[in-house]
Amino acid sequence: MDLEKLVAIDFHTHAEVSCCRPHDPIQQAFDDAATAYFRTAPKRPSIEETIAYYRERQIGFVMFTVDSEAGTGMRRIPNEEIAEAAAANADIMVAFASIDPHKGKAGAAEARRMISEYGVKGFKFHPPIQDFHPYDRMAWPIYEVIAEHGLPAIFHTGHSGIGSGMRGGGGIRLKYGQPILVDDVAVDFPDIKVVLAHPSWPWTDEALSMALHKPNVYIDLSGWSPKYFPPQIVRYANTQLGHKFLFGSDFPLITPDRWMKDFREAGFRENIHQDIFKGNAARVLGIDSAEASV
């Protein structure tokens, strides 16, 4: 990525439509509920459509699927499909992989292969949807691979729009989204750059405390319009944590256009805008520091 040419780096975008596999009927029920919750368009863009969307805006983006095959029975989009798209569009796109922690050592072998053969730059975990405690020992083989390569790992935290309104919440247990459950991961795997996704409501202060306390903990601000952020996020961004927040939209459920417009009107100091838009993400992703300072 040439940071001088990019307006921003969106650290949180989803691949929801595969170009090589039919849509999973289990996923459709979750999609319908999310459409109602986020009040968004029912049609989800393909990976190619997403690339075109971000290229038109000159916004770099990190894309991933969520492997929740054990927790939901939903067939995942192949990590390979996302990685191949990123390799062909490396000026604009970064691929993260998602591997269900229930796969244990087989998941660790896949993680190693995704790094060595496909060049993925990080990993995505969604404990509520994947139905696991973030510090469960079954996830350690995958964490060990991520730590060995010093890569970032995004953990969903806080409320889940996915499953909202469904019978029994779609089987999703919100307790696994509590940020402090990830604190043990940050302690025992200090070489993993832990990214807590979303404002973490109703546990926002836990995430802020972790980002203050742990050098390897960051927060991506996806999933909410900035005009609805808890006020302490703006306060800490403007003071002690301006270097720890990352722009993320949660596309396609929230668009970067809406997020960036609302961000500029939400009380964030002008001098931290570029760090949050792209500088902090560049450092987490390991993009050359000289470029990241632009």
**pLDDT value at residue 169:** 84
How far, in whole angstroms, is CA 224 from its chain's centroid?
A: 13
Tokens of 52: 């075109």
Tell me the pLDDT tens digit for each residue of 89-108: 999 999 999 999 999 999 99
Let me know: does 162 contact 197? Beta carbons within 8 Å: no
Reply yes or no: is the peptide bond before residue 252 cis, omega within 30 of 0.
Answer: yes
> Is the pLDDT confidence value at 291 over 50?
no
**pLDDT value at residue 22:** 62
Rounded mean pLDDT of 162-175? Answer: 84
Let me know: does 238 contact 214? Beta carbons within 8 Å: no
Radius of gyration of the chain (CA): 17
Provide CB contacts within 8 A for 261, sequence distance 6+. Answer: none
CA distances 181 to 132, 135, 159, 192, 258, Å, are 11, 7, 14, 15, 31
**pLDDT value at residue 293:** 38
For the chain, the average pLDDT equals: 92
Provide CB contacts within 8 A for 233, sequence distance 6+. Answer: 199, 204, 208, 221, 245
**pLDDT value at residue 290:** 41
On the 0-12 / 13-18 / 19+ scale of CB atoms within 10 A, 69 is: middle
Tokens of 202: 């109703």
> Is the pLDDT confidence value at 170 over 60?
yes
Tell me the H-state helices in the chain. 25-38, 47-57, 69-72, 79-88, 104-118, 127-130, 140-149, 183-188, 204-213, 231-237, 256-264, 273-274, 280-285, 289-292
Residue found under tokens 């691929």: 95
Rounded mean pLDDT of 191-220? Answer: 98
CA distances 218 to 39, 136, 284, Å, are 28, 21, 9
Q: Which residue has the higher pLDDT, 13 or 289?
A: 13
Report which DSSP code applies to 224: S
> Is the pLDDT confidence value at 192 over 80?
yes
Rounded mean pLDDT of 213-237? Answer: 97
Domains of the chain: 3-292 (3.20.20.140)
In the chain, the percentage of residues whose pLDDT exceeds 70 is 92
Tell me the pLDDT tens digit for each residue of 33-73: 767 777 777 677 999 999 999 999 999 999 999 998 877 77
> Is the pLDDT confidence value at 25 over 70?
no
Give the pLDDT band of residue 28 (cuts 50, 70, 90). low
Rounded mean pLDDT of 244-253? Answer: 96
Tokens of 183: 């604190």
pTM attached to this predicted model: 0.91
**pLDDT value at residue 164:** 78
Distance CA 198, CA 248 (A): 8
